[in-house]
Amino acid sequence: MPGTSGIRIRRIALATIAGELTPILLLVVVVLIYETRGVDPQTRQAFAERVGMWLGPIAGAISTFGFGFLAARSTDRPLLHGTLVGISVALLDAVLIFAPGAKFIPVFAVSWAGKILAGVAAGLLAARR
């Protein structure tokens, strides 16, 4: 049900959570599969960090696009909904990265930009349907 502004907050919130959790769960699955090779914890950690540096931004943009599209379709303002999902996923990602005290690296900004652009693209696609 839309709020007084016509923005479907629940849709945006659910798409944000799903858009952020999907790449995390995918990374966990990839690391668990790698772990079946019998590697030690240090090697596993190094692998997770290396793969996460690529998997996170790519899968994050893809999942933001998919869930942004789902949130934006069948709304009166699909571009706004898709964009809000992209921004929300990027902000949630930043909070999850910096809360434990991580240092900024440029790939974070690229990842956030990708998520915002994916949300905008999802909104544009939903507007065309």
Distances (CA, A) of 22 to 17, 29, 65, 75, 96: 9, 11, 12, 24, 14
The string of pLDDT tens digits covering residues 87-100 is 999 999 999 999 99
Are 126 and 84 a contacting pair, CB within 8 Å? no
pLDDT of residue 2: 59
pTM: 0.89
pLDDT of residue 40: 86
Instruction: Count the neighbouring beta carbons within 10 Å of the beta carbon of residue 113.
Output: 14
Q: What percent of the chain has pLDDT over 90?
A: 77
Which residue do the tokens 């992209």 mark?
86
The string of pLDDT tens digits covering residues 46-85 is 998 899 999 999 999 999 999 999 999 999 999 999 999 9
Mean pLDDT confidence for 4-19? 91
> What mean pLDDT value characterizes the chain?
93
Are 22 and 63 a contacting pair, CB within 8 Å? yes
Instruction: Count the neighbouring beta carbons within 10 Å of the beta carbon of residue 94.
Output: 16
